[in-house]
Amino acid sequence: MNLPQRFPHSGLPSSVTVYEVGARDGLQNEKTTVPTEVKAEFIERLADAGATRIEATSFVHPKWVPQLADAEVLFRLLEARPGVHYPVLVPNPRGLDRALACGVREIAVFASATETFARRNLNTTVAGALADIESVVRQALELGLWVRGYVSMCFGDPWEGPVPPDAAADVVRRLADFGCDQISLGDTIGTGTPGHVRTLLDVLAARGIGPERLAVHFHDTYGQALVNTLAALQAGITTVDASAGGLGGCPYAESATGNLATEDLVWMLDGLGIDTGIDLPALVETSRWMADHLGRPAPSRAVQALTKD
């Protein structure tokens, strides 16, 4: 299999944590519901390939996201492995109760920078979502859980259009004040460009939220996810969200396509000599295997190219 040549570049981190979202952001958007055992094997293969933070599922309302209605069964099937974390998405207090009942130790809450998406995704307002999130985060931190906060629509919104960096930063600031360990900046519909990414990160830094507390979550709708990632790395970000095979989207956001593909990301990071701990051929094999189950080729460019080798 072809592998990238290494040409390290100054001003970049020596290692990056890939936060793998294929099993959640990817599968929540598939038309076909994948059997629970296949999801469990997918997650196991991702861990075998070296992924250490694998968002496993979502304790949202099963009527809203039927693809992940098996959250309890799936989470209990996951094998505990040293150094491997399985955070789950939690929308509200009821979601936290369900997650705790399964022994979850890492959660991700999600807010929106825009009112329309808060209504469509969480059936509430930005303020209403933040009130729910504050109580979930407080309870989770008291119990010693690790908590990530997502902010969706940080760059653009399909209904409201451009989102000013200050508006996104206001919501990020609230999640930081609640005590979230990490906050992931969601470009849910993929309209961001590298200067925009840099501007948002600069605005956040000026408001006391540095890159060590942030992650980036790019969807690749306009082909900008990888170049936006490079801009984020240059600004000091060391956690990058990606989805094996480039699966993904958001059922409640028109025009959201797949996430940045993990293989495309790892190809670039390997080429830059940045350590991820992920074995690219093993990851490609996993995405090919999943593509067979989904009955369609993986959207990832690297998977497609390496499949022809």
Closest to 143 (Cα-Cα) out of 179, 177, 89: 179
Q: Which stretch binds Mg ion (CB under 5 A): 9-17, 23-31, 50-58, 195-203?
A: 23-31
**Beta-carbon contacts of residue 31 (< 8 Å; ≥ 6 apart):** none
Closest to 172 (Cα-Cα) out of 218, 210, 119, 116: 210
Site residues (CB under 6 A) for ligand HMG, limited to 221-280: 250, 252
CB of 217 to Mg ion, least distance (A): 6
How far, in Å, CA of 43 to CA of 47, rounded?
A: 6
Residue 53 site contact among Mg ion, ligand HMG, none (CB < 5 to 8 Å, cut-off depends on kind): none
For residue 43 the two structure tokens come to 């997650």
Assess contact for 278 and 287: CB atoms under 8 A: no
| Of residues 53 and 217, the one with the C-beta less far from ligand HMG | 217
Is position 102 annotated as part of the catalytic site?
Answer: no
Binding-site size for ligand HMG (CB under 6 A) equals 25
Binding flags for ligand HMG, 86-125, as an x/- string (CB under 6 A): -----xx-xx--x-----------x----------xxx--
Closest to 86 (Cα-Cα) out of 62, 69, 105, 61: 105
Site residues (CB under 6 A) for ligand HMG, limited to 164-193: 186, 188
Question: How many other C-beta atoms can be found within 10 angstroms of the C-beta atom of residue 293?
Answer: 15
For residue 156 the two structure tokens come to 């653009």
CB of 181 to ligand HMG, least distance (A): 16
Q: Is 120 exposed, middle or buried (0-12, 13-18, 19+ CB in 10 A)?
A: middle
Per CB under 5 A, 25 contacts Mg ion: yes
Strands 106-112 and 182-187 come out as unpaired
The active-site residue out of 102, 154, 180, 250 is 250
| Chain position whose Cβ is nearest to ligand HMG | 186
Q: Which stretch binds Mg ion (CB under 5 A): 25-33, 48-56, 112-120, 137-145?
A: 25-33
| Of residues 186 and 211, the one with the C-beta less far from ligand HMG | 186
**Beta-carbon contacts of residue 230 (< 8 Å; ≥ 6 apart):** 194, 268
Q: Which residues are near ligand HMG by CB under 6 A?
A: 25, 28, 58-61, 64-65, 91-92, 94-95, 98, 110, 121-123, 150, 152, 186, 188, 217, 219, 250, 252
Residues serving a catalytic function are 250
Q: Which residues are near Mg ion by CB under 5 A?
A: 25
